[in-house]
Each structure stands twice: as structure tokens, then as C-alpha cells.
């Protein structure tokens, strides 16, 4: 049976307002906006499968980014840098 994943609740009103504002933003970095939308949908009580359908992505993508989002808070929303040798 799949594990139930859910974002942690906002620590205060300011954080909740910041996340909701970022989720609805038109000019935010795409990866930050994506993660904010996942968190807002999770706060609404939706499952990762439902969130993936809404955000048009694979459910595994929602599940794989969840631990970083909950541990680091909004500072962990940026995509990680590409691994491997850098091109000079």
C-alpha cells in the first residue's frame, strides 16, 4: 500500500501567505511555482495522484520531491543542479 504523503502545515500565517502567493504567481521560477502548487494542493487534502493529475505530471515526481519540500521548507524548492562533469 502506498505511503500517504502530505506537506507539513505552515509554521505561521506569513509562510502560508508566501506559499499561496508563489503558487499563483506568473513570474516566479517554474520549479518554485510547481513545488508551491504541490504544497497548496496537499494542504487542501489531495493525494499525490490527484495532485499529479492537476499539475499534469507523473505521480512519482510528486512523491520524489516531497521529502525535500517538507524538510527544507521553501528554501528547498529549487531544482538541484545537474550532476556530472561541467562543460568548459
Average pLDDT, integer, range 65-88: 60
Banded pLDDT at 9 (limits 50, 70, 90): confident
- Pull the grid cell for residue 66: 516531497
Which uninterrupted H or E stretch holds 66? helix 59-72
Cell 518554485, residue located? 32
Average pLDDT, integer, range 59-77: 65
* Domain range for 49: 13-70
Structural domain tally of the chain?
A: 1
Residue 21 falls inside a structural domain: yes
Residue 84 falls inside a structural domain: no
Q: Is the pTM of this model over 0.85?
A: no
d(CA 12, CA 8): 12
| Mean pLDDT over each residue of the chain, to the nearest integer | 77
Contact indicator for 7, 42 with CB cutoff of 8 Å:
yes
Contact indicator for 50, 62 with CB cutoff of 8 Å:
no
Residue 81 falls inside a structural domain: no
Residue 5 falls inside a structural domain: no
Sign for the pseudo-dihedral over CA of 62, 1, 73, 82: negative
Amino acid at each position: 500500500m502506498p505511503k500517504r504523503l502530505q506537506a507539513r502545515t505552515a509554521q505561521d500565517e506569513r509562510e502560508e501567505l508566501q506559499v499561496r502567493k508563489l503558487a499563483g504567481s506568473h513570474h516566479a521560477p517554474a520549479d518554485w511555482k510547481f513545488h508551491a502548487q504541490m504544497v497548496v494542493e496537499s494542504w487542501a487534502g489531495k493525494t499525490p495522484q490527484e495532485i499529479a493529475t492537476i499539475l499534469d505530471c507523473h505521480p512519482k515526481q510528486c512523491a520524489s520531491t516531497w521529502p525535500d519540500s517538507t524538510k527544507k521548507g521553501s528554501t528547498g524548492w529549487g531544482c538541484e543542479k545537474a550532476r556530472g562533469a561541467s562543460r568548459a
